[in-house]
Amino acid sequence: MNNQNIISIAKNYVAPTYGRYELALTDGKGCYLWDSDGKKYLDFVSGLAVCNLGHCHPKVVKALQNQAEKLLHVSNLYHIEPQVQLAEKLCKNSFGDKVFFCNSGTEAVESAIKLARKFSFKNFGEDRHEIISFKMSFHGRTMASLAATGQDKYHKGFSPLLDGFQYAEFGNISEVEQLVSKKTCAILVEPIQGEGGVNVPPENFLRDLRRICDENELLLLFDEVQVGMGRTGKLWAHENYDVHPDIMSIAKGLAGGTAIGALIATDNAMAFEPGDHASTFGGNPLASAAGCATLDVITSKGFLEQVTSMGKYATEKLHEIAAKHSVIKEIRGKGLIIGCEIDQDVSSIVIKAIENGILLNVALGNIVRLLPPLIVEKEMIDIFIDFLDSSLKEL
């Protein structure tokens, strides 16, 4: 089918939960995608930080093919070899001791919220259930993760929300301290806010959150759904700040494009017992095999150093064009999650980019958010920079 046929059928039968672009993508390789009409696109969205290894990475494809020939699914009533292997890899490459598997980022955050409340109930009893999260955060769209999200636009139309959440200004440690009460059980934060505009925390902010949690016997929950799996040049974003959480939610880039989510926790924080939480497809053989292959690539020698190098190159190039365009207010980020804030709405730039064979993402209407595959090369960054430079000249 061509683009128009696919789009026409989608409008008839697919729920209208996305404002989709008039584009149907059917093939991908590395940092490039092709639509059903054969047009090629340089991908600077990566499925919203899912395809960190680019599209159809050969090691991920091979892992999926091999596993598909052996076993697709069994219940979590039994031990699953690829799941066990992935759990071991995650624990050995993180602060954690135990892993719970699910299918998405919002489920991973939902799991963290449940675990924090269960931990508090077991150790402190009733009425200690509140969680402090942050304004401009994004944690997902299920009811608990939605309530944790500190943006009113996502709440509209879904009241009453789950209670028990307080929102502090991101980066404002004194406001966090004021919100801590006898009802507080945890603090939930993205080490770098993605959907909220690529907001990087003050240098000591995450360490101060750790201190507050330790002083008040609270759990520290990190949402690394978007910024984990090498996106910042470290395997985990919090490693940039020399701090560790008690619980971390991950997903997106964990399995090279295959749906998966996970919660990593210390032994101390792992309060779940049999029957407390579950996921039918969580840690299934196929997704877990893809996760093992993906993690092996990202932790291979030199990979993360290259991410840091490309992130530095992209940032330097953005600063060069910022010197030419006064409309650029700020450039911020780490590694290959970078936000270029413009002093006016630039949503239309996405359409222009598509016309020019580039896929881009804009957050909050005025922030060009770069999320290229972690295997991006300088020449590809130059293509994007040239496009942005010429587009800003027309504003």
Please check the confidence at residue 103 and state whether its pLDDT lies above 90: yes
Query: Using an 8 Å Cβ cutoff, are 261 and 31 in contact?
Result: no
d(CA 257, CA 47): 8
Look at residue 394 in the predicted model and tell me its pLDDT: 84
Please check the confidence at residue 29 and state whether its pLDDT lies above 90: yes
Query: Using an 8 Å Cβ cutoff, are 190 and 140 in contact?
Result: no
Query: Using an 8 Å Cβ cutoff, are 371 and 45 in contact?
Result: yes
Token couple for 141: 């769209």
3-state secondary structure of 352: helix
Look at residue 268 in the predicted model and tell me its pLDDT: 98
CA 50 distance to own-chain centroid: 8
pLDDT digits (tens, 9 = 90+) for 275-289: 999 999 999 999 999
Token couple for 155: 């709440």
Q: Which positions ≥6 away from 362 have C-beta within 8 Å?
A: 346, 347, 349, 350, 368, 369
In CATH terms, the fold of domain 3-56+302-393 is Aspartate Aminotransferase, domain 1 (3.90.1150)
Query: Using an 8 Å Cβ cutoff, are 107 and 279 in contact?
Result: yes
pLDDT digits (tens, 9 = 90+) for 277-324: 999 999 999 999 999 999 999 999 999 999 999 999 999 999 999 999
Query: Using an 8 Å Cβ cutoff, are 141 and 134 in contact?
Result: no
Look at residue 37 in the predicted model and tell me its pLDDT: 95
Domain ranges of the chain: 3-56+302-393, 59-298
Token couple for 109: 């955050």
pLDDT digits (tens, 9 = 90+) for 139-149: 999 999 999 99
Look at residue 395 in the predicted model and tell me its pLDDT: 78
- Return the CATH class of domain 59-298: alpha beta
Mean of pLDDT values over 263-269:
98
Q: Where are the alpha helices (DSSP H) in 158-248?
A: 173-179, 205-216
DSSP 106-146: HHHHHHHHHHHHHHHHHHH-SS--EEEEEBT----SSHHHH
Query: Using an 8 Å Cβ cutoff, are 141 and 154 in contact?
Result: yes
pTM for the whole structure? 0.97
Categorise residue 321: left if φ over 0, alpha if ψ from -120 to 50, beta otherwise.
alpha
pLDDT digits (tens, 9 = 90+) for 50-72: 999 999 999 999 999 999 999 99
pLDDT digits (tens, 9 = 90+) for 183-240: 999 999 999 999 999 999 999 999 999 999 999 999 999 999 999 999 999 999 999 9
Question: Within the chain, what is the greatest distance between any pair of CA atoms?
Answer: 61
DSSP 217-233: T-EEEEE-TTTTTTTTS
Q: Which positions ≥6 away from 18 have C-beta within 8 Å?
A: none
Please check the confidence at residue 267 and state whether its pLDDT lies above 90: yes
Look at residue 32 in the predicted model and tell me its pLDDT: 98
Confidence of residue 381 (pLDDT cuts 50, 70, 90): very high
Confidence of residue 10 (pLDDT cuts 50, 70, 90): very high
Mean of pLDDT values over 176-183:
98
Categorise residue 58: left if φ over 0, alpha if ψ from -120 to 50, beta otherwise.
alpha
